[in-house]
A and B are shown apart, each in its own frame.
Chain A
Amino acid sequence: MNKTQNVTIKGTKDGLTLHLDDTCSFDELKKELDRKLSNSSRVQEEDKLLTVKVTVGNRYLDAKQQEELKDLIRRKRNLIVEDIETNVLTREEVQQLKSENEVVSMARVIRSGQVIEVEGDLLLIGDVNPGGTVKAGGNIFIMGTLKGIAHAGCNGNAEAVIAASVMKPSQLRISEFISRSPDQNEDDGRIMECAYVSGDSQIIVDRLQVLMNKRPNLARFEGGR
């Protein structure tokens, strides 16, 4: 009956990979996996835990099914599933990815009491007034004066940066790091500046130009002449 194999095990220099066929039923797959792992002598020889990558091709696995597979593999062998790789994404996952990678632009003033939050990068054309807050999962770029609070990388991305035409914030936050402006801030704000988290976990405010060295991966564009 089982002419083709639904489960193949491959060892590479990076570790083990389990290829699971995407055309058979999930139950069939589990049965064969169970059998394969019990038989396989190659893996048995070693006692120490091995990590394994699982690829499932064009099969969609929901969270429960992923758990089942991981469980099965863990129980049978000294194997730990490092990652389950699938070619399939749900609509929601795509939406989520999309919004995390999007630059949302808006032209308006963020006024006292207002909070704007985006999942990806924010490009604001206008000021953030004192008492106003802008938050982004990614970077924040403000073409205007930042007088309120900006929180970049608000879901825990310390690589995120904040840039503003005029930097006069009441507070800067990047990931969980906070820097507050001095209580007696008399200056008119400095122009064309950026903020990033340095190696020793400090928020540094510097000229905009340093970003190309500090955060080279800000560039998404490759090419040009």
Chain B
Amino acid sequence: MGEAIVITSGKGGVGKTTTSANIGTALALQGKRVCLIDTDIGLRNLDVVMGLENRIIYDLVDVIQGRCKIHQALVKDKRFDDKLYLLPAAQTTDKNAVEPEQMKKLVDELKQDYDYIIIDCPAGIEQGYKNAVAGADKAIVVTTPEVSAVRDADRIIGLIEKEEHVESPKLVINRIRSHMMKNGDMLDVDEITTHLSIDLIGIVADDDEVIRASNHGEPIVMNPNSKASIAYRNIARRILGESVPLQQLDTQDKGMFSKIKRFFGVR
């Protein structure tokens, strides 16, 4: 019996899809069976980031409305044997075509076959969000070090905390620019984490390689050398229960680092 993790943020464009693709891929690289679900109906792009767009035959809505079986709609990522699959979102249908109850049933079914179901959530707090959260056991909230993104993350965390079936969410801070943090032009990691008062599960630098990789349909984790790649791999390892210290950013002083270690119970 696997577990389902929803990747959400409230605000759009902060890196939910990128995080979903990379965490999913990193878990598959660790030998786990992973199914990615794109719930951003009408604005799908997890398939593009994964480089699987051309192989889509059926989609999420087809499955929910009974036009095909689940396994017919799952797109297999051939780079990872039998480890990584994608259930793409519908591009054309109305986003209200799916109900939370139906999503939950679908995710529960997938949990029988996969170790991890990674659910990429659309922006906002409406129907699409509700669908994405309905089947989740855990949640990862993605934010960037910007006030508006943090504000929306706070809102989303409040909503997730009301969902009894979801564990207390974990935080990813994405697109960190160390020079801006150092100058105080961006909120720093400690500020954000204290403000949102949830556990930090990873920080990811702003890295041009991420964009380049996405454009090639190859998640950055497949390139072992970039900074962002290591960050995503670390997040995957933490999901698997390892306690991996955070990547040292140039901005962080000693006190900061030990504070972060405390979040993971590392002393």
The interface of chain A, by Cβ under 8 A from chain B, is 109, 111-114, 126-127, 129-132
Residue B138 CB within 8 A of the other chain:
no
Shortest Cβ distance from residue B199 to the other chain A in the assembled complex, whole angstroms: 13
Interface of chain A: mostly helix, strand, loop or mixed: loop
Query: CA separation between A126 and B194, bound complex, in Å?
Result: 11
Query: CA separation between A114 and B157, bound complex, in Å?
Result: 11
Residue B158 CB within 8 A of the other chain:
yes
Q: Which of A109, A112, A114, A130 contacts B197 (CB 8 A)?
A: A109
Residue contact A131 to B197, C-beta cutoff 8 Å: no
Which residues of A lie under 8 Å from residue B188 when comparing CB positions? Answer: none
Query: CA separation between A39 and B178, bound complex, in Å?
Result: 92
The interface of chain B, by Cβ under 8 A from chain A, is 151-152, 154-155, 157-159, 161, 195, 197
**Most chain B CB inside 10 Å of its own CB: which residue of A112, A126, A130:** A112
Query: CA separation between A31 and B38, bound complex, in Å?
Result: 79
Q: Which of A109, A114, A127, A130 contacts B151 (CB 8 A)?
A: A130
Which residues of A lie under 8 Å from residue B197 when comparing CB positions? Answer: 109, 126-127
Which residues of A lie under 8 Å from residue B157 when comparing CB positions? Answer: 111
Query: CA separation between A114 and B125, bound complex, in Å?
Result: 14
Query: CA separation between A113 and B161, bound complex, in Å?
Result: 13
- Apart from A111-B155, A111-B157, A112-B158, list 15 A-B contacts with CB within 8 A: A109-B197, A111-B154, A111-B161, A112-B151, A112-B152, A112-B154, A112-B155, A113-B155, A113-B158, A126-B197, A127-B195, A129-B154, A129-B195, A131-B154, A132-B158
Query: CA separation between A9 and B171, bound complex, in Å?
Result: 73
Which residues of B lie under 8 Å from residue A113 when comparing CB positions? Answer: 155, 158-159
